[in-house]
Every structure is written in C-alpha cells, then in structure tokens.
Amino acid sequence: MLVTLILASHTTADAAKKTKAFKSEARTATAVDRVINAEILAAEGKLAPKTSDEDFLRRVTFDIAGTVPTPSQVTLFALDPDEKKRTKLIDRLLESDAYATNWARYWRDVIFSKATNARVRGVQGTFETWMTEQLKENAAWDEIATGLITATGDIRYDGETALIFAQEGQPSEIAAEVSRIFLGIQMQCANCHDHPTDSWNREQFHQLAAFFPRVGVRPVREENNVRSFEIVSVNQDSRNRRPFAQNPERVFNFLDRNRDGKINKAEASRNQNFARLFERIIEFGDKNKDGALTLEELRAAADEFARRVDRKSRDRGRVRREAVNLLACAARRAVRPQRPSEEDTLEARARGYIGRKTRVSLFEGGRRRGAARR
C-alpha cells in the first residue's frame, strides 16, 4: 500500500510538471504566433490556413531530423486521431539521434563557414562528434557557448576548440565570429572603420575583441612525430614567452625578412599583432627617422614603452620583460606552418569587399539547410 502511494505521488507530481511545462510552451507559441500574425497583417497580407497533417509532418521532420518521412509514416500520422499528435511528434524527434546529428552538422557549417584557417577541415569531424554529444545530453545553450568561447586543449580530441582554431586564435577574427554566431550581429566591418549605417562603432568592436588576446594556437609534436595544434591560455602558459624575453634578437630572426638589420612597416604588417605595436612605438623608437627599427632602437623602445605603461612601478625589469614579450608573441606566430597570407586577414578582406563591391549573402548560418547538412 505504501509503495502504491509513493508511486502514485511521483506519477502525479510528474504529470503536474509536464502539464505546467506544456502550458508554458503553449503560451510561448501563442505569443510568437501573435507577433508573426501582426507582422503579416501590418503588411496587408492574408493569414494562410492551418497546414495539413501531411505538410506539417514533412516540414517538422525535415527541420528537426534533416530527413523526410516515409510514406507509411505520413499515412499513420494523418490517420492518428490524437489532438496532441503534433506536439508529441516534435517531442519524439527531439529525443531522436537524428536530431542531434542533423543539428550538429548545422552548427558545424556555422562555425566553419568563415574559417580563416584551411587546416580546420581536419577537425570538422571532431567538432561534429562533440556537438552531437552535447545535443544528445540536452546541454544548456549557455554551457555550449561557454565551452566554445573558453575552450583549451588539443584540436584532435577537444571538439569545443573548433571556433578558436578556425580563426587561428586572432582576437579580431574571434570577436567578429562570436558576435555573428552568438549575438546575431554582423560587426566585423567595425574592426577597421565606423560604418555609416551600423549601430556598432570601431571602439565598441575592439572592446569586444579585448576579451580574446590571451588565447593562442600552439603547434605540438608527439614522440611518434605526429603533429597537431592545441589551444592554450597565454596566462597559464607564460613559459612559452621566456626564450624570446631572454633573447630579443630572435624577434629579428622572424620579422626581419630581408635581413637588413631593420624592421620596417611592410615587414611588421605581415603579423597583425606586431603591426599594431609597431605603429605605437615607431613614433618614439625611430631615432634616425628612417621609418624602421633596428635591434638597438627596439630595445630602447621597449624600455620607453615600459616606462609609459607603468611609471609608478619599481620593478622596471619586470615591466620591460612584459613589453618585450609583446614582441615575442608576434615572433612566435610567424613560425607556424601554413600561416595564412596577408590577403586572408580581416582587414584585407574588408578592403577587397569595398573595392569589388561584393554582394553580401543573407544566409549567415553557413550553407542553406537541407543541401548542406548531408
């Protein structure tokens, strides 16, 4: 008798929860329908009649599972007298493996559609597997977004590293993609200029991009000579920068391409990180005003930069090392294999867009669903 009462109480509680959830979903659906209907009527349109069971089954199955129903499924659904069969159909599809597989492919297209790194083709499967598991486990969207934005680890095993690796760890590229994917806002043009018709200006873009400089892509090689890359936090892996801080001459080995003992603007522009720093220090670091920095001028500029950054600090050596390490970050990125050309940068793409008047696609979620995710 006690067991029966306990089971009955749990069943009643579960039923109450489901009823409450159903009412909440119904209110949401009603609110959405109200907004859509208002827009249609405001445009002097005419509301279409309720779709047939056959059309509803085909649309929902295609949208959620990425497939079309079989003829027998269409017949059975049309003959089902249950008034809640449409709601139940959606629940069944969301619990199916086909839903997780289909939408993992959709998000794969979204993440990789604007990749600046050609090597990402090799990790698409890793991301798809990870995303499929997230959807199967009904992970919250804030957890999925956090995982993608803050990911670290080996790209071969950690699928959540896909977003950062696809943009090569570049802060401006990551910021543009985070805004597009998670905020639904196209603000990459503000990386270079204030657009006359956009709400977001250049300062706001770089405020967003300021969240991402302390992440990087590092090549790794295992004992069996297998090469890969890993996403690392610069804060947690400062040992990477010490060799350059102890030996600033290595900066020239990477950036002085013509081996004339100077770094000019053209050489600095090959690396986005160093190019920004070059513009800041050339004003006071170029002693002979020839538009280039020698090694001695760079050392002096690093000292001056340190004094300007932290005039109140007593540990000048620490601040100087940090300033030199900024140059080291640029030098380390220059040796990575298959580095994208200058034409692959966001600024270059923006210039090409303005010059060629390229049309912008309205489908920002990757390729069109249906054909793309198969």
pTM over 0.85: no
10 Å Cβ neighbour count for 65? 20
Produce one character per residue of 198-217: b if its CB has 16 or more CB atoms within 10 Å, e if not.
bebebeebeebbeebbebbb
Cβ atoms of 255 and 155 within 8 Å: the answer is no
Predicted local confidence at residue 178, as pLDDT: 93
Gap between the Cα atoms of 328 and 244, Å rounded: 5
- 269: three-class secondary structure by DSSP: coil
- 223: three-class secondary structure by DSSP: coil
10 Å Cβ neighbour count for 87? 14
H helices within the chain, ranges in order?
Answer: 2-42, 53-65, 71-79, 85-94, 97-112, 124-136, 141-149, 162-166, 171-178, 202-209, 242-246, 249-255, 265-268, 272-285, 295-309, 316-334, 346-356
Residue 290: partners with Cβ closer than 8 Å, 6 or more residues away: 262
- Residue 271 has which token pair? 């690396």
Predicted local confidence at residue 271, as pLDDT: 64
CB half-sphere exposure, 277, CA atoms < 13 A = 23
Are β-strands 227-233 and 215-221 bridged in parallel, bridged antiparallel, or unpaired?
A: antiparallel
Predicted local confidence at residue 326, as pLDDT: 43
CB half-sphere exposure, 351, CA atoms < 13 A = 7
Q: Give a three-class secondary structure readout of 33-68.
A: HHHHHHHHHHCCCCCCCCCCHHHHHHHHHHHHHCCC
Predicted local confidence at residue 14, as pLDDT: 52
pLDDT per 10-residue tile (average), the chain, 374 residues: 36 52 74 87 83 92 94 94 92 93 96 87 91 93 92 89 91 91 87 82 88 85 76 61 44 69 78 68 77 79 62 45 44 40 46 40 37 40
Q: Is 110 exposed, middle or buried (0-12, 13-18, 19+ CB in 10 A)?
A: middle
DSSP state of 360: P
Kindly write down the DSSP assignment for every residue of 115-151, as one continuous string. Answer: -S-GGGGGGHHHHHHHHHHHHHTT--HHHHHHHHHS-
Predicted local confidence at residue 310, as pLDDT: 52
Gap between the Cα atoms of 272 and 186, Å rounded: 21
Gap between the Cα atoms of 53 and 80, Å rounded: 10
Sheet order of strands, 215-221 included? 153-154, 227-233, 215-221
Q: Torsion angle of alpha carbons 279, 204, 271, 231, nearest 10°?
A: 140
Tens-digit pLDDT profile for residues 249-307: 556 666 776 777 788 888 777 666 667 677 777 777 777 788 888 888 877 776 666 56
Gap between the Cα atoms of 54 and 361, Å rounded: 32
Residue 162: partners with Cβ closer than 8 Å, 6 or more residues away: 111, 112, 120, 123, 124, 126, 127, 130, 148, 151, 155
